[in-house]
Each structure stands twice: as structure tokens, then as C-alpha cells.
Amino acid sequence: MKNITTTAGEALGSHQDSLTAGVRGPLLMQDYALIEKLAHQNRERIPERTMHAKGSGAHGTLTITHDISRYTKADIFSEVGKETPLFLRFSTVAGERGAADAERDVRGFAIKLYTQEGNWDLVGNNTPIFFVADPYKFPDFAHTQKRDPRTNMRSSTAMWDFWSLTPESLHQITILFSDRGLPISYRHMHGFGSHTYSFINKNNKRTWVKFHFKTQQGIKNMTNEEGNKIIANDRESSQKDLYESIENKDFPKWDFKIQIMSEEQANNHKDNPFDLTKVWSQKEYPLIDVGILELNKNPNNYFNEVEQVSFSPSNVIPGIALSPDKMLQARGFAYPDAQRYRVGTHYEALPINRPICEVNTYHKDGSMSFEDINKKAGIIYEPNSFDGAKEDSQYLEPSYALEGNAARYDRSLENDHFYQARDLFNLMDDSQKNQLFSNIAAAMDGVPSEIIKKQLALFEQISSNYAAGVKMALE
């Protein structure tokens, strides 16, 4: 028989009754087993993510099917047939942990690839763009998606007020309220890295790259009415679909593709190629096949794996780097900082986050400090005269040119926020346009008329038919 113990290993003589002063007496503070049990329960839930709180995840592999080594020296792409283990977390963006899976929302598509050169975290969404391009605006956007502090309810007014004053959001709004804004499951949607990243090849030449994951299951979406029927009976519809498909060995797959842009092309591109509210034309920069992503194993413990998995766009590997994308650069700080607060200082030492390669840092102490983090206790600084880990110049990234004065630039003065949303709108058939109008009108219920007028004026700059369609749906 195994003895039940405290977390320090002390065997307990009783696990049924608290220590009290007499049969009817009060509790005694010296009942440390009780205190430990209650204190642990208080900490069984880590703070939920500010965004992407509701999620599902699975393990899988990325298999390389095409040679792209001319663009990047990353070992993950070094040979056709190479397999890399990964963990993918899907999520809804705005809702809390208790939100329903079938709500209209952007979906997160975050991948942690465990490579021999370190973890590569590709943290994206099911849309190739986002609502804002400057991180200065992101906390404000996030507040519009959360609960009003006075009513403790989601506020359509806050949402549309912000959007009506932020024209760069129009492209993402058009996607969110289109038929693709409500996927039937995580398996039936595309994924995107969204940001522009760097590829660096063995000759230290840089190109810019965007990442795409095209579902092999086909795109399938729902109307608001269909989603509401599902929510009435099942708030975990996407979780159930993903879990059961993998358990039944119907492993979901995505085709992994990239777009490539040279530094010269970027310098002459009509838009800022690092603007997160814009896509690159696939006619100008066609998709290039890379590999296949497959999910083939469910988590053994949801909390340990799906809740504690911690992503950051700053986790890159040699041959992959960041770019001047402002949102990407800010996320490179904000994500690991959020994980240190949410999970703990040494969150990357947890099994779900731990790299499969050797890790050598000079980080010291802090919460969750495992005994093997600082292997050589006496060497906690660098440079040192001992056998401590040292830098290697072969991992330096090539430079790229910067120009201009340090200032807070108003990007709207030279930025067309309307043409890509117009291109998307013109691609829609009549049925898709009517869904768009109806979905927007439903989301505007209760919004003050002056805010609706401002938003209609923005739609008018996309297309008079766009504005007229929404206006008619509102009547």
C-alpha cells in the first residue's frame, strides 16, 4: 500500500479529519496538512490568458515535403522527409475560459515546434491579418472585447466605437463578419503566421516570409443561427470535434506553405510589407509548398499541456528571425512577459514548453526554479573564467538598413485602409455579401446611432454597396 503524504513527502496518519481543539472545537493553525491542501486548491488555476483564454490542443508533426533550403538555413527545413514534433493550440480570441466554441470570433492558431536548435513558436490566427498594426493600440482593442467594468457585460458599443475610429480594422472586420468568421470546427479552417518574418539562408542572405497552413479537411463554416443551436447544447463543440477525430485516428492535416519577398521587393512594395492589417498578393508572391502538418495525439492532461503551454513569437531558431513588423516586435516582449506572470518565472522548464535541445542560460532563482536549471551553481554570471556557456558569432543575424527620424508617425496619412477590404468584398458572391450584412447588423444591436453612422461612412469608402447592404440589414 502507498502512503499518502504531504508534498514534502511526509506520510499522513489521517486524511479525513481536520485537527481541532476538541470534537466541536475550532481548527488549529498547526494543521499544516489542511493548510497545504487549501492553499494548493487556491492555486489550482493559473490566471487565464488575457486573450485566447478558451483553447484546445493536440500533439503532432511537421513533415517537410519540399526543399526551401535556398531561403533558410533552419535545420527544420534541412531535408525533405524531416519530421519535427509539435504542439498546436487552437483558441477563441475574445472570450473567457467559459466561452462557447461556436461563437463568432477570430481563432488562434499557435504552434510550438520542438526542433534540434530550440523551440520555434509560430503564434498566429485563422486570419492572415489583424485589427490593428500598432501595438500602442492593442490594449485598447483588447479592452473593447472584454467586459464593461460597470455592467460586467460585453459591450457592442465599445467594440464598434473603437472600430469606427480605427479604419485600419476594416479588413479584419470584413473577414470576421463574413461566412469565414464562424468556422464549424478547428479542423475546418486555415491557419496563418499573419506577421512577416525573416528567413536567413546559409549565405547569410535575408528574405521576408509569411507562413500559411491550408486545411486538407476543407473550409466549413456556420451561420449565426447554426452556431446558436450548437451553443444551446454543447459549449465545447470544437474541443469535442478535435478530440474525437484524433481518438478515431482521423488525423487532421494542413498543407504548410510560404510566401517569399526579397528585401529589394519590400523596399519597392506599394504598401508597408510589415503592416499586420495587410496581406501580400498571392499573384505577386505565390504560395510555395513546404510540408504537411498533422495532429495525431491528444493531450494526456489538459491543464499540464493545453493550459500551461506558453508561446512567444520571440522563440525563433537560426535561419528564422523577426522583422520590422511593429506588432511582431511588441509581441516578442509581451508574450513571454505574460507567461512569466501567468505561469511562472521558469515556465519554459515545464515539460510542455521545454526544448528538446540542451538549454544553457544564466537566469537565476525565481518561482518554479527546478534544481537542474542552474547545473553549475557557482557560475551564475557571464563572462566568466570557467567552463560556462559562451556566445558564438555564427548565430548573429545579418543586418538590415533602417532610416528615418525617431518620431510617432501618423500612418493613416499615407495608408489606404480600404482597398484590400474592397478586394475581399468584391470576391464575395451575393449570398456571402448578404451574410456579411446580416452578421454586422446583428452585432450592432443596441449601438448608438452616431457610432453606426461613423462605421457606415467607413464602409462607404470600401464600397457604396457595402454600406447600403449593412444599412438595409439594420432597418
Query: Is position 52 annotated as part of the catalytic site?
Result: yes
Judged by DSSP in three states, 78 sits in: coil
Of 119, 125, 24, 154, nearest to 347 by C-alpha is 119
* Owner of C-alpha cell 485598447: 140
Q: Domain residues of the chain, as ranges?
A: 17-46, 54-130+183-356, 418-474
Instruction: Reduce the secondary structure of 11-77 to three states and give it as a string.
Output: ECCCCCCCCECCCCCCECCCCHHHHHHHHHHHCCCCCCCCCCCEEEEEEEEEEECCCCCCCCCCHHH
Q: What is the pLDDT of residue 378?
A: 64
224 is catalytic: no
SS3 for 274-315 is: CCCCCCCCCCCCCCEEEEEEEEEECCCCHHHHHHCCCCCCCC
Residue 371: CB atoms within 10 A of its CB come to 7
Furthest-apart CA pair in the chain: how many Å? Answer: 83
Q: What DSSP designation does 195 have?
A: S
Q: Does domain 54-130+183-356 have CATH number 2.40.180.10?
A: yes
Burial group, residue 415, by CB count within 10 angstroms (0-12, 13-18, 19+): middle
C-beta of residue 171 within 8 angstroms of C-beta of residue 424: yes
* Options 52, 59, 190, 417, the catalytic residue: 52
Give which of 420, 463, 451, 461 is closest to 159, Cα–Cα: 451
How far is residue 87's CA from residue 238's CA, in Å, rounded to a whole number?
17
CB 285 within 8 A of CB 261: yes
List phi, psi (to 5°) of 199: -110, 140
Query: How far is Cα 228 from Cα 326, in angstroms, rounded to an integer?
Result: 37
pLDDT at 377: 55
Cα separation, 290 vs 213, in Å, equals 10
Q: CB atoms < 10 A from the CB of 111, how many? A: 23
DSSP 411: G
User: Looking at residue 25, what is its pLDDT?
Assistant: 67
Q: Are 136 and 326 in contact (CB under 8 A)?
A: no
How distant is the alpha carbon of residue 389 from its chain centre? 32
125, 272, 315, 439: which is the annotated catalytic residue? 125
The structure's pTM equals 0.92
Spatial distance between the Cα atoms of 66 and 417, rounded to a whole number of angstroms: 35
> What pLDDT shows up at residue 396?
81
What is the four-CA torsion angle of 102, 126, 461, 425, rounded to 10 degrees?
-80
The answer to whether 260 touches 288, Cβ cutoff 8 Å, is yes
**464-474 vs 449-462: helix axis angle to the nearest 10?**
150
Instruction: For residue 217, give the nearest of 239, 250, 244, 194 by alpha carbon.
Output: 250
Amino acid found at 316: V
Q: What angle do CA 322, 411, 141 make, to 5 degrees?
A: 75
CA separation for the pair 311, 308 (Å, rounded): 10
pLDDT per position in the chain (475 positions), as tens? 677 777 667 677 777 777 777 767 677 777 777 776 767 667 767 888 889 999 999 999 999 999 999 999 999 999 999 999 999 999 999 989 989 999 999 999 999 999 999 999 999 999 999 999 889 889 999 999 999 999 999 999 999 999 999 999 999 999 999 999 999 999 999 999 999 999 999 999 999 999 999 999 999 999 999 999 999 999 999 999 999 999 999 999 999 999 999 999 999 999 999 999 999 999 999 999 999 999 999 999 999 999 999 999 989 999 999 998 989 988 988 898 889 889 988 888 899 999 998 887 777 777 777 766 555 556 778 788 887 778 888 888 888 887 777 777 777 767 899 999 999 999 999 999 999 999 999 999 999 999 999 999 999 999 999 999 999 999 9
